[in-house]
Structure 1
Amino acid sequence: MADLAPKGFPGIAAGARHVEQAGLDSVSVSDFIMGNGAPALEATVALSAAAAVTTRVDLRFSLLVLPLRNIAWTAAQIGTLQHLSGNRVILGVGSGGAPGTPFWQAVGAAAEGRNTRLVRSLELLPGLLAGEETTLPDGTALTLAPAVPVPPVLVGGNSDNAIRRAARHADGWLPSVVSPATVARGVAKLREAAEEAGRPAPSTTVWLHAGLGDEESVRSARAAFEKSLVDMYGLSPEEAPLVPIGGSPKEAAERFAAYAEAGADHLDLLVDGGDWERQVELIAEARALL
């Protein structure tokens, strides 16, 4: 959530209830605390607030930056949320989150070696959550209780290395701000890597921006986002307009279908522009057309 007070956003609790009442599948929170004054909420606490007022929707980390965190403490937090929510956690993880920013420095997390730490955390986390005695890198033997079902784990990132990590260590791949064509290429690589690892092909969830309708705030947010895709992500001016979801619910449904045809199993949408509650309703209308 780039802005803690987007137009019409009623807060975490009321927003989560609205998503559930609209018939959508999940609420999600990103783990991007910069420490430079930019607004951000700690993801586990935010999802706990959502869990307390909902009964059905999944509680999705999109994504949790594991190399920033102590794995024992993280396992305790995730296990607690899984236990209290009735096993509704979807755990997206990654190694990004702006390493080198003041928050990383303040918690003593080095940017170097973060992918290695991510893989090690992925290896340790299932046993910790399942209540198994687990030996940590420093030699400590740790058993957490109560044991909980290990939530589905999705590895974020668009690179070939991220795809290989998802294929070897996770239940899903979580690319972000990519076109259907890029998803199709990534899914092919994912299936090949999973076959080489002797594992089932992971699912694919695509994280995208969405702003439906034609009001000025939606148009301006879309234009700014498309520019950032070219300037920051290196997309071509031709490909950038193919990434954000917009238009009418019918047009958005067609975009949803294009991602599904490319191999996406789920879409994780960040509302960008317009009235937040109305955007949720429009997204639900689009989904109902599939």
Structure 2
Amino acid sequence: MELGVILPTSTPDPAQPILGDVRASARLAEQVGLESVWSTDHLIASAPMLDSTVTLATAAAVTDRIGIGFNVMLLALRPVAWAAKQIATLQYVSGNRLLLGVGTGNPAHGDIGWRAAGMPFEQRGRRTDEALAVLPGLISGAPTTLSDGLEITLTPGAQVPPILVAGNGVRARRRAAAYAGGWIVLNPAREQIPADIADLRALAQEYGRPTPAVTVVAPTLPADLPAAAGFLHDYAALGIERVILAPTGPDWQRDYHFAAELRAALE
């Protein structure tokens, strides 16, 4: 099982912003041997949040090996061609280290960011599907026809990064089965995981595609290292490929070192 961490660029608690040094956090995550660092994404959220593309470009610039990931890019919040240009450029400047998580947006943040961007909040699911259908062609530099019939080619092309679709519901699993190589689920109940993976497998079979690999984000782990390692061993036994841990507060250094200790305990 791979372990990644969310960069200190946002927080679920508006009263306690977690806005740390992106350069230092990315360097530390690589130094302690973690697999990947991830940035959240929103225009206007319920708490302070840095821009994800700039954050990941910064993380890429100060590291050499570690994966850099969107957790998750809201494709429907952007024109798809512009998103593809950003993705392809990040692939180029990072040396093909990008991991592209895609989501439709947590309704808890409301629709104000969508209204500010001039994008229809109620159509975000359909627009995400349309974007995912053309994204590989746009990123790779192939001639691609957009949903409105316009044919474009973006250059230079880049290697299409691993695409992971996020969301805990069946619509997200269907979207992952249809378009992605991975499915991201937020803090699932362990007893629900086998049924969800079985559903994901069945959906992938409908599309004639391999079952997407499963990534769990922000699981609620015990504070005790052996207990937390046992928790993740259970995840691994269920077929979870990757776990992404979120900062628990401003002391992200402590959280990253704990993640590294967990990684060592799982080897």
Task: Give the direction of change, closer, same or farther, for the CA distance of 1:279–1:194 in structure 2 (3 Å limit).
Answer: same
User: 1:180 is matched with which residue?
Assistant: 190
Q: State the shift of 1:97 in Å.
A: 3.7
Match runs of 1:54-73 below 5 Å = 54-73=63-82
CA contact (8 A) 2:214 2:240 kept: yes
CA contact (8 A) 2:134 2:144 kept: yes
2:88 corresponds to 1:79: yes
2:147 corresponds to 1:171: no
Spell out, residue by residue over 1:224-271, the C-alpha distance to the aligned partner (whole angstroms, 9 max, x if none).
xxxxxxxxxxxxxxxxxxxx0132222211111111122211001102
2:64 corresponds to 1:88: no
CA contact (8 A) 1:66 1:95 kept: yes
Match runs of 1:1-290 below 5 Å = 1-2=10-11, 6=18, 10-34=20-44, 38-98=47-107, 100-209=110-219, 244-273=220-249, 275-290=251-266
Percent identical = 42
CA distance in 1, matches of 2:45, 2:230: 39
Query: Runs of 4 or more off by more than 4 Å in structure 1?
Result: none
CA contact (8 A) 1:183 1:263 kept: no
- The structure showing larger relative contact order (alpha-carbon pairs under 8 Å, at least 6 residues apart) is 2
Q: How many residues are paired up?
A: 253
Name the amino acid aligned to 2:238: A
Spell out, residue by residue over 1:28-74, the C-alpha distance to the aligned partner (whole angstroms, 9 max, x if none).
011133266x3111111110000000011111111111111110000
Name the amino acid aligned to 1:50: A
CA distance in 2, matches of 1:277, 1:100: 31
CA contact (8 A) 1:207 1:267 kept: yes
CA distance in 2, matches of 1:273, 1:245: 15
SS for the counterpart of 1:265 is strand
SS for the counterpart of 1:246 is coil
Q: State the shift of 1:116 in Å.
A: 0.9
Greater Rg over alpha carbons, structure: 1
CA distance in 2, matches of 1:246, 1:49: 32
CA distance in 1, matches of 2:240, 2:128: 24
Q: State the shift of 1:275 in Å.
A: 2.5
CA distance in 2, matches of 1:161, 1:35: 23
SS for the counterpart of 1:245 is coil
SS for the counterpart of 1:113 is helix
Query: Structure 2 length as normaliser, TM-score?
Result: 0.90
Of 99-108 and 54-63, more deviation after overlay is shown by 99-108
SS for the counterpart of 2:121 is coil
CA distance in 2, matches of 1:202, 1:12: 30
